[in-house]
Structure 1
Amino acid sequence: MATNNTVFLLFCWISFAVAWSPRLLSPRRDNTNTSLPNEYSYETFYLDQQVDHFGFNNGDTFKQRYLIASQFWNHHGGPIFFYTGNEGDITWFCNNTGFMWDIAPEFRALLVFAEHRYYGSSIPYGSQAFKDPSKLNYLTSEQALADFAVLIRYLKSSIPGTSDSPVVAFGGSYGGMLSAWMRMKYPSAVIGALAASAPIWDFTGLTKCTALMDTITKSFMKASPPCVDNIRQSWTTIDKIAATAEGRNFIYNTFHLCSPLKTADDVGNFKAWLANAWFDLAMVNYPYPANFLEPLPAWPVKAVCAPLGSPLQDKLLMQGLYEAVNIYFNYTGQAKCLNTSQDATASLGDAGWGYQACTEMVMPSCADSSSMFEPTTWNFTSFSNSCFSSYKIRPRQDWVSTQYGGKDIEAPTNIIFSNGLLDPWSAGGVLNSLSDTLIAIQIPDGAHHLDLRAANKDDTAYVKAARTQEKNIIRLWLSSQ
């Protein structure tokens, strides 16, 4: 059992929180983005939104940011492609959801990217938002969906030519969950939704808590079985070496760490840091060089497994682990040391997901001995106590299933659930079609929402086929209007 169980239990939802980290693109506050090619240019707008859509006592408002690209649009009723923003700065999603930009000219669509409340610059109560639990009380998926519905109504009433425009929702990761839930909750607002890498079933009682770690293990196993064996063995090896001050110093020097390992907690944090790296690598295992979380080579899991491709023991295993993790954290060779207190995907001040994970977004995670991770258990009581310590609130582990139907979602229509099977979050996704209009698309060699990324010359046949299928389905939705 892990010596620092709480740290390890938390790393899973931390990874999800930062899967869409805005760290790699500085927020743009100007009215027009001019630094990108013309086809990616957009205008920035703000709409006054109710802080509380579901009560009438609080009349406070905030300014929700949204981005519009109209250069491809048929001004006489062309469709609106609406991105349901997730946990980060909306400009980052806008510039990293190339599929929408790629297909907009073909559909002559108006592109809208809506920012999620409490992220980016759409912060109710401003600097006080994260200091007062009563101010954070309105950070929920339900309120965010209501924001999107109000924004769509506003756009169709204020932009000439949009009153009869059909709206299709798009989203990836948590944004994909929101796009699916948008179609379920507001079917009059959107005619359909593409929910990419949306783990809508990664909640209590819906998916085994081992599922994410098992999926990562399979992804690494596909690249190199010896690599999996070495990582599985590494946890006990680290404990053995770190049992002495001399051993901890060896790890510090071998990994070129920024800070020495002095205590058991330091060692636990070091192991959680490694585990997070393996998790993130499975998410971004793209077939071409990318800069999604960190600058990485094509098929990065295969690259990091190369130094771990043969059986290793003790200090040689530590050296192999360093060479592997250094590819992730220091592929450019510019880092002078590796900082275990800072994940590669750490966001810049977007603390909202920690609160969301401690309220309704409770995603249980654990690992058993069959995975490559250190065995851990899921302890909801410990998780709840940690949340109370941080936010003075306690999570409701069954609320999402109650609110959005859990696995009983056959009634809605027109939702595409796409999942790359290399992606950890596919474990909580809809992998098989539920009806003729609730369609699942599997991408066997796909990582996290690969299909939402821009077309690339090194795309695999599977993702190309998935995008073609998605376009055909969207075209069918639009033709039926």
Structure 2
Amino acid sequence: MSTLLTLLYPWVSLLSIILSTITINIVSTTPTYNNNIPRLSAFLRDSKTEPQTLSQDFQIFFFNQTLDHFNYGPESYAIFKQKYVINSKYWGGPNVFSPIFVYFGAESPLDDGQITYSAGIINDNAAHFKALLIYIEHRYYGESIPFGTFDEVMNSVTIRGYFNSAQALADYAEIIVYVKEEFAAQESPVIVFGGSYGGMLASWFRLKYPHIALGALASSAPILNFDGISPENTFPVGVTKDFKEASESCYQAIRNSWFEIDNVASQQNGLSILSQRFKTCSPLGYSYELKNYLEDMYSKAAQYDGPPTYPVTQICSGIDGAPEGTDILGRIFAGVIARIGNTTCYINDIGNPTSQTSGDTNGPQTTDETGVGWGWQVCSEMVTPMGQGSDDTMFQPRPFNATNFINDCKSKYGVTPRPHWVTTYYGGHDIKLVLQRFASNIIFSNGLRDPFSGAGILEDISDTILAIYTAEGSHCLDMVLAQQSDPYWLVNQRQIEIQTIEGWIRKYVADVNAFRK
């Protein structure tokens, strides 16, 4: 009986903590400060990225994961189920040093679409490398939520505290080591892959766990977006650059539209007029609903401005192609239709994906799992100040207000953000000087049309820490499933990345053989 009680104690203790701390409601319908920090999602939903049914080559498993890797209190030993997926179809076996490719899930569920499309680069190259493929879901997303439903966990001030990047990296390490043991593949080299926030995790994993990962491909990873390293206007300046390069007249129309929206809104029945002009799904309560929607649409269009749709060009074609004599608001609405398509209503029907910018319901009132989860991460450690001045972008002035941001986070989650922790724990300041002295085998890939690229690594740090980018590329484009229609520059970028990884593996095998002699 005493042994049983010892085993149960962490669970009983943890359950009491959960029940006693579900006190803060994180979903609010009251208009609050919009901190204007976009999500870092590696890809947007469309017909290609909707979840596809996995073939039998993909096997789903659940690992008994430790809640807290960095504490030895009884409750830290509690276990939750963490999802991971394995594809061993092309695995060449450990005797020939066949590599293990690991895709790091990030701030969304690890669904079939993410495995088949977003992680396309490892799927496309598995046969060539005879690689074992592993895909790991990030803790607190999808089916990897500790102890209850997502809402219960996110409302627990204690359990929510284990939701951070350091714990996630330790999760990945535990699963990789376990799978290597299961496949008797202790000497098989591991390459980790991630896009956007997942790309940051991949680069940080190589730095924190070099004994586990031989190398990392970090796609569109804005690791310099913290602690004042990059200017707070880096992202909106990048969005503006994309639109201005696409069409000067389109850029000017957008730039002038904010004044016109405010002017109409200030009139009697102005919000009703705007609701009619933009065919909103429900009447506008505030002009910022419309402005936030448009800013979000333009930002995502720039972030994912790649083939085959090129959304910036789509929007500008609508704005510039409006009939002669169309006023500014009419031209802006034509851009919305060009991007979203014809539908019954637009702007503020969160329950209807067709009214959103790409099926993504991120916004001031979002309550979806990814939006809430990323909101917590931004308010705790992923503090990336973002704002714009009076004349540096096509948007209205909105400098980052640290006081409002902190108060908003305290109101939602009861915590004060730690803006310096990421650079303290992972580094970032003087990154070239620091990394060239001890780090190796990291590819930082970017597409310069992605506004986040301005906070990424855009020049080689050493012979083995490489910046591989394309002028025409967009957010995480090199990571996704290859298409026959892919432009030559994208094909070349992927080829360079794969050749670099081949070089890492060749050197590793040579080193192992040399040590055996």
With normalisation by structure 2, the TM-score equals: 0.83
Residue 11 (1) aligns with residue 33 (2): no
- 1:395-414 equivalences under 5 Å are 395-407=417-429, 408=431, 409-410=434-435, 411-414=438-441
Question: SS of the residue aligned with 1:323?
Answer: helix
Residue 299 (1) aligns with residue 310 (2): yes
Question: SS of the residue aligned with 2:162?
Answer: coil
Number of aligned positions between the proteins: 451
CA pair 427-9 structure 1, distance change in 2 beyond 3 A:
farther
Name which of 313, 333, 354 aligns with 1:322: 333
Residues of 2 paired with 1:19 and 1:102: CA distance? 18
Residues of 1 paired with 2:44 and 2:376: CA distance? 16
More displaced, 460-469 or 79-88?
460-469
- 1:220-239 equivalences under 5 Å are 220-239=243-262
- 1:127-206 equivalences under 5 Å are 127=149, 128-160=152-184, 162-206=185-229
Q: 1:102 touches 1:455 (CA, 8 Å); kept in 2?
A: yes
1:375 paired residue number: 397
Residues of 1 paired with 2:418 and 2:162: CA distance? 15
Residues of 1 paired with 2:349 and 2:398: CA distance? 21
Residues of 1 paired with 2:325 and 2:161: CA distance? 49
Residues of 2 paired with 1:140 and 1:24: CA distance? 31
2:345 paired residue number: 337
Residues of 1 paired with 2:325 and 2:205: CA distance? 51
Residues of 1 paired with 2:315 and 2:46: CA distance? 23
Letter aligned with residue 496 of structure 2: Q
Give CA deviations for 1:214-253 in whole Å, capped at 9, x if unaligned.
1111111121111111111111110001112333222211
1:341 positional shift: 5.7
Q: 1:227 touches 1:305 (CA, 8 Å); kept in 2?
A: yes
Question: SS of the residue aligned with 1:47?
Answer: strand
Question: SS of the residue aligned with 2:134?
Answer: strand
With normalisation by structure 1, the TM-score equals: 0.89
CA pair 22-146 structure 1, distance change in 2 beyond 3 A:
farther
Gaps of 5+ in 2: 1-30, 351-355, 363-367, 509-517
Q: 1:420 touches 1:448 (CA, 8 Å); kept in 2?
A: yes
Residues of 2 paired with 1:237 and 1:313: CA distance? 18
Question: SS of the residue aligned with 1:358?
Answer: helix
1:93 positional shift: 2.3
CA pair 341-7 structure 1, distance change in 2 beyond 3 A:
farther
Residues of 2 paired with 1:314 and 1:389: CA distance? 47
Name which of 92, 97, 102 aligns with 1:82: 102
Which runs of structure 1 show a deviation greater than 4 angstroms over 4 or more consecutive aligned residues? 6-9, 18-28, 310-315
2:71 paired residue number: 55
Q: 2:293 touches 2:347 (CA, 8 Å); kept in 1?
A: no
CA pair 8-272 structure 1, distance change in 2 beyond 3 A:
farther
More displaced, 308-317 or 451-460?
308-317
Residues of 1 paired with 2:447 and 2:278: CA distance? 32
CA pair 20-458 structure 1, distance change in 2 beyond 3 A:
closer
Residues of 1 paired with 2:316 and 2:45: CA distance? 28
Name which of 438, 442, 459 aligns with 1:415: 442
Q: Which has the larger radius of gyration?
A: 2
CA pair 126-22 structure 1, distance change in 2 beyond 3 A:
farther
Residues of 2 paired with 1:370 and 1:385: CA distance? 27
Residues of 1 paired with 2:346 and 2:302: CA distance? 20
Percent identical among aligned pairs is 35
1:133 positional shift: 1.3
Question: SS of the residue aligned with 1:90?
Answer: coil
Residues of 2 paired with 1:248 and 1:315: CA distance? 20
Residues of 1 paired with 2:99 and 2:155: CA distance? 41
- 1:208-227 equivalences under 5 Å are 208-227=231-250
Residues of 1 paired with 2:396 and 2:93: CA distance? 56
Question: SS of the residue aligned with 2:306?
Answer: coil
Residues of 1 paired with 2:143 and 2:45: CA distance? 12
Gaps of 5+ in 1: 1-5, 289-297
Residues of 1 paired with 2:458 and 2:421: CA distance? 23
Letter aligned with residue 264 of structure 2: I
More displaced, 242-251 or 183-192?
242-251
